[in-house]
Chains A and B, each alone.
Chain A
Amino acid sequence: MTEPSYLRDTVLPQLPPPLVDRGIIKWIRENLFSGVLNTFLTLAGLAAVWWLLAASLPWFLHGVWDANSLGECRSIIAAEFGEGAQGACWAMLRERWHQFIFGFYPPEAYWRVGLAFVLLFVALAPVLFTEVPRLLLWGTVIYPALGYWLLWGGSIWGPVVAMAGFGLLALVFKLLRPLLGVPVAGGLGFVAAVLWWLFAQGPVAGLLAGVMPVGLVPVESDRFGGFLLSIVIGVTSIAASLPLGILLALGRRSDMFLVKTLSVAFIEFIRGVPLITMLFTASLLLQYFLPPGTSFDLILRVDILVTIFAAAYLAEVVRGGMAALPRGQYEAADALGLDYWSAERLIILPQALKISIPSIVSTFISLFKDTTLVSFVGLLDPLKGISTIVRADMAWKGVYWEPYLFVGAVFFVLCFSMSRYSMYLERKLKTDHK
């Protein structure tokens, strides 16, 4: 045997993969150009991005922040970027941003809006996040009165006494329920609360205000505008429509023919007409349906109608949650000997509401977006109402894209974060059930 002339005693080092099969090139090839169709799609996508940027980027880059009128903006842009250059006039926002956010709310009271907004999250936390201590739920309960007082101002005793009406409702209900059952006790509690609001509210609040005057400078509802108005209408109507929606959902699933028929008719009627007709009803027709001479401000009327509108949608959401529960839950409740209301309160509703939260958030998002429609009945929503008054100013007449872009961006940030939260919740709830 001849000695081998060469013997490899070490393993060759691994060669790196070919250039087209590694790093960024591989990624590009696999993810962007893996076939004829994909190549075409990628190129089309790039073309669309390029076209969008080419159309809008110069306009953004030429933006002017420091001017007192649109004419001034135009001359600054013409001076800097040459005759005929187009550019954004953000100076309008610098002067009018507060109207887009707060409407005509008095500037010295902006802190109240901010505080109410922050407290809203504190109040919502125990509802939205399970990790938060349960004690905070009391904060949620008193928030309606607190938020109202912060935003509208006036004597603190008005909202407190109004809340006392709810306390009365709860008390009457609690005392009478063992004797008379849930529906009757609830009805009597409601009657007691209404009587309280009708006859005791004014004198008691007046008396307390006389004894201990605590109050903020009152702000009329017509000072509300912009995103403040959108959020107020959105939040109040969702919150107020939740109890109504639950009742309607229970009604729709009820065995009682009449209750079921009425609930279905109500829900289908409201869901069958566009929101804008409801708003026009608030603005044009409500005056016909109420006792002669009744008149209260448009924001409240719109809020009532939007609440009714939202209640029909929430009823369907809650019903969906109830339908998603396995039948066994109902049967188990019956087997335990629970009556209807105990079964609903202890077994069905807690589970159904929990799985409905993502849908409730979605309903809120679409309602919040739809609050822009209130401009068609003359309220100052940010998108059209405030934009119109800004454009009616001689200095800013002709400003077109800037208000829309600003309002659109704010809406996007708010709605996008809410929808992300809802998706997070959905994922969390899903793992709970598996």
Chain B
Amino acid sequence: MKKSVFLGTLAVSGLLAGMAAAGTLDDVKARGILNCGSNNGLTGFAAPDANGNYQGFDAALCKAIAAAVLGDASKVKFVPLTGETRFTALASGEVDVLIRNSTWTFSRDTDLKFDFVAVNYYDGQGFMVKKELGVSSAKELDGATVCIQTGTTTELNLADFFKSNNMSYTPVTIADDSEGQRQYVAGACDAYTTDASGLAAVRATLPDAENHIILPEIISKEPLGPVVRHGDNNWGDIVRWTYYALVSAEENGITAANVEETASTTTNPEIKRLLGASDDNLGAMMGLDKEWAKRAIAAQGNYGEIFAANLGESTSIGLARGLNALWTQGGLQYAPPFR
């Protein structure tokens, strides 16, 4: 554990680094494990359970990608990242893909040299207030004290919202979600603002949930999605289409339970292509095998199943699908054709 190990490991990793310079896919395959940048603890999206296994909506997508690329959903190394370290970790190659409820914005996509390959959750910034405040709209928050997390896009949205409505506010900056919840409950702020999904999760765990309301206004668009580095388009394709395979599976009624059976019995040519049951080899076009999508779906289920298991109305967070319903049901989730 002393100097020897540092130098030894340093030397070894230097050698390894010399070899690894090819595409991300080759790196991942050579390593045999997917490095997935995830949240260091956000209820419903990614958090380790008592056994140290990451669970959640974002974590499920990591597992699906690992299943598609490596054939084993458990071959994921979750790298917990903070709001401040996440983009650097991706840029430096420490993680292969960042799935940490990161908002797709113009400057992140262009200036920070990343690619947001899909949107796995359409979120928006909202406000939660105590019912006794007698406020029913965010437009009535003039002069309010607002708890806000730093290091995210929410602080910029908040400033813009109050400015455009000619209102003033006092920000109470907080470091993380649990701190925000505590401050809000203690009454240190009138309103707590973060992504609506986060607000729902906080509200669900309050002992007096009925005394708190989430205001109807959503003041920003927060398209959250997996991020990869600029320049490795093949890897971006893999992440994007793995995700769309999950959405497409929901569109076609393929679940984790029936995916094997569907693959062998279906007559629908698109499903056959998707599951690798026909002669078309979609996987080969991006360097994977034929059955990549089948494994991805079998890992944690289709998009709808993942949502229901981690965030949906049967969980204590109890989020409705809303914008994240399939396009056929009035939502925005829409998979391009597999052809």
Contact = CB atoms under 8 A, between A and B. Distances in A.
Query: Does B bind A?
Result: yes
Contacts of B182: 400
Contacts of A95: 50
A397 B94 contact: no
Given A148-B4, A294-B17, A393-B43, 19 more contacts: A143-B2, A151-B1, A162-B7, A165-B4, A198-B15, A202-B12, A202-B15, A232-B1, A235-B1, A236-B6, A239-B3, A280-B84, A295-B13, A295-B94, A378-B80, A389-B47, A394-B205, A398-B207, A400-B178
Main secondary structure of the interface of B (DSSP, over half): mixed
Given A385-B40, A397-B178, A236 B2 contact: yes
B97 interface: no
Interface stretch (A12-20, A131-139, A265-273, A300-308): A300-308
Given A99-B52, A294-B13, A389-B40, A283 B85 contact: yes
Given A165-B4, A239-B1, A307-B6, A104 B14 contact: no
Contact of B206 (A148, A236, A385, A398): A398
B317 interface: yes
Interface of B: 1-15, 17-18, 20-21, 39-44, 47-50, 52, 77-82, 84-85, 88-89, 91-94, 176-178, 181-182, 201-202, 204-207, 315-317
Nearest to A98: B50
A165 B8 contact: yes
27 contacts: A70-B205, A104-B52, A145-B5, A147-B1, A159-B8, A166-B4, A197-B12, A198-B14, A222-B78, A222-B79, A236-B2, A240-B3, A287-B94, A292-B21, A293-B17, A294-B13, A295-B93, A300-B9, A378-B85, A387-B178, A389-B40, A389-B48, A391-B41, A394-B43, A398-B181, A398-B207, A400-B178
A246 interface: no
A296 B13 contact: yes
Given A220-B77, A394-B315, A388 B7 contact: no
A243 to B, nearest CB: 7
A367 interface: no
Contact of B2 (A158, A240, A393, A400): A240
Contacts of A112: none
A382 interface: no
Q: Give 8 closest A-B pairs by Cβ, nearest first.
A: A104-B52, A392-B41, A144-B2, A392-B47, A162-B8, A287-B92, A296-B13, A397-B205
Nearest to B53: A104
A220 B35 CA distance: 12
A243 B3 contact: yes
A259 interface: no
Interface string A117-157: 00000000000000000000000000111011001000000
Nearest to B7: A197
Among A158, A380, A388, residue most surrounded by chain B Cβ atoms (within 10 Å): A388
A398 B203 CA distance: 11
Contacts of B176: 388
Which of B5, B77, B84, B91 has the largest number of chain A CB atoms within 10 A?
A: B5
Nearest to B47: A392
Contacts of B44: 394
A376 interface: yes
A74 interface: yes
Contacts of A389: 40-41, 47-48, 80
Contact of B43 (A193, A201, A283, A397): A397
Nearest to A294: B17
Contacts of B93: 287, 293, 295
Nearest to A193: B7
SS of A interface (majority) = helix
A365 interface: no
Contacts of B315: 394
A162 B5 contact: yes
A369 interface: no
Contact of B5 (A159, A378, A392): A159
B48 to A, nearest CB: 5
Contacts of B7: 162, 165, 193-194, 197
Contacts of B78: 222
A28 interface: no
A95 B51 CA distance: 10
A324 interface: no
Contacts of A162: 4-5, 7-8
Given A162-B7, A295-B94, A380 B80 contact: yes
Contacts of A166: 3-4
Given A151-B1, A295-B93, A201 B41 contact: no
B256 to A, nearest CB: 22
Interface residues of A, number: 66
Interface centre among B17, B205, B206, B316 (most CB of A within 10 A): B205
A177 to B, nearest CB: 20
Nearest to B55: A393
A300 B181 contact: no
A85 interface: no
A300 B9 CA distance: 9
Contact of A198 (B11, B40, B205): B11
Could you say which of A96, A291, A293 has the most chain B C-beta atoms within 10 Å of its C-beta?
A: A293
A314 B77 CA distance: 36
A383 to B, nearest CB: 13
Given A194-B11, A197-B11, A378 B6 contact: no
A378 B43 contact: no
A223 interface: yes
Interface in A32-86: 70-71, 74
B2 A103 contact: no
A284 B89 CA distance: 7
Given A378-B40, A398-B205, A400-B182, A201 B12 contact: yes
Contact of A378 (B18, B52, B81): B81
B94 A144 contact: no
A194 to B, nearest CB: 7
Given A293-B93, A294-B14, A99 B50 contact: yes
Contacts of A400: 178, 182
Most B C-beta atoms less than 10 A away, residue of A158, A385, A398? A398
Nearest to A116: B1
Contacts of B92: 287, 295
Contacts of B85: 280, 283-284, 377-378
B155 to A, nearest CB: 18
Nearest to A197: B11
